[in-house]
A and B are shown apart, each in its own frame.
Chain A
Amino acid sequence: MIPELASPTREEVMADTQETLRAVARALDALGPLPEKGGNGAAAISFDAMNPLQRLARFLAESYGELAEILEGLRETRGLFRKAEMHRLQHTHITLQEVTSQTEMATTGMLDGLERCLGLVDSIEAAEGAEGEDPRNQLRDELHQVIQHLQFQDITAQRIGHATGVLSDVETRLVRLMGTLEQYGFAVTDHEEEVEAIVEQHVVCDPNATTQNADSRQALADDIFA
């Protein structure tokens, strides 16, 4: 039976890597001065004139430099995600939610006022017992129409809800990406407050919700249900 090997810790991997790099450095030192790439100095040796070990050394040195640049780029990218994009995304997300809630509050206030007006018209009419065509009927019709116009709140909320959903999705992906980078040791060294993704219940919203062309859209529904 093969004994189960424990996974090395991150520190152990780093220590092994450093030890390996030191061993490579010692081996390179033993080969003499590192050939300069295209260098003009006295120590410069053309690539064609190098022996295979020197070529390997040049390749390793160049690769190391490129890898170091890539790692630095990844660190910077992660830092930028955290410092700028996450805050901006969360701010946009919160702003959109505030817009939805403020629109809802405003329309609720308007509905309250309109319904009070309608009640007022009813009570005036009852008190006077008016007969026939009355301008108050027109007023009532107008008030009802205004109430119907307030449907825009639900329709715009659908669009905003969809946009919020997209932002949440992007945010979740960024957090996942940062988690992956963190896992491989690309941590940002500052002690900034951790930014956590806003996890919300998924609500399906209609990205095509519109106040336009209600008649033609209703006609399509009528055709299907005819």
Chain B
Amino acid sequence: MKFLVVDDSATMRRIVVNSLQRIGYSDIVEAADGAQGLEVLDGSIDFVITDWNMPVMGGLDMVRSIRAQPDRSGLPILMVTTRSVREDIVQAAQAGVNNYVVKPFTPQVLKEKIDQVLTKLRGAA
């Protein structure tokens, strides 16, 4: 499974990549903001993990842009962010995010959410 990790913080990208490797995923590409994420996004990406607050294009706008593409409406997207007030989480859900991880997170929580998304999507298919 190939992951796209989008975060403007180089530190956070490395931590997410490290966590993914620890839970068994090694095919990973990275992007520093939503616009770069959309550029990198091609048919080979199976799962997107994105931050919310980023320059140029934020995570929420990137998610909306992905969901506006009919062929990518079912692409699994996980939001990993510091934003944790109810209104923000609801907004992310409405934009089309499949699951939500609050920073700081542990690799176990990341795995749990990825598994939940994949299980739900497999069930819906």
Which A residues have a C-beta under 8 Å from some C-beta of B? 104, 107-108, 111, 115, 144, 147-155, 157-158, 201, 203-206, 208-211, 214, 217-218, 220-221, 224-225
Which B residues have a C-beta under 8 Å from some C-beta of A? 7-12, 14-15, 18-19, 22, 52-55, 58, 81-86, 89-90, 93, 98-107, 109
Verify A111–B107 contact, CB threshold 8 A.
no
Verify B100–A148 contact, CB threshold 8 A.
no
Verify A221–B10 contact, CB threshold 8 A.
no
- Out of A153, A201, A224, name the residue touching B9 (CB < 8 Å): A153
Counted as pairs of residues, one from A and one from B, with CB atoms less than 8 Å apart, the total is: 99
Verify B58–A224 contact, CB threshold 8 A.
no
Residues of B contacting A111 in the complex (Cβ-Cβ under 8 angstroms): 11, 14-15, 18
A interface, over-half SS: helix
A206-B89 contact given A115-B18, A144-B107, A151-B103, CB 8 Å threshold? no
Residues of B contacting A157 in the complex (Cβ-Cβ under 8 angstroms): 9
CA distance A225 to B11 in the complex (A): 27
- Besides the contacts A104-B11, A151-B103, A206-B82, what 4 more A-B pairs have beta carbons closer than 8 Å? A148-B19, A203-B8, A206-B53, A206-B83
Residues of A contacting B109 in the complex (Cβ-Cβ under 8 angstroms): 218
- Out of B90, B103, B105, name the residue touching A224 (CB < 8 Å): B90
Residue in chain B with minimal CB distance to A210: B82
Verify B104–A214 contact, CB threshold 8 A.
yes
- Out of A107, A115, A217, A218, name the residue touching B11 (CB < 8 Å): A107
Residue in chain A with minimal CB distance to B97: A225
Verify B102–A221 contact, CB threshold 8 A.
yes
A224-B93 contact given A152-B104, A203-B55, A218-B102, CB 8 Å threshold? yes
Verify B102–A214 contact, CB threshold 8 A.
yes
- Out of A104, A151, A225, name the residue touching B104 (CB < 8 Å): A151
Nearest CB of B to A45, in Å: 70
Residues of B contacting A154 in the complex (Cβ-Cβ under 8 angstroms): 7, 9, 11-12, 82, 103
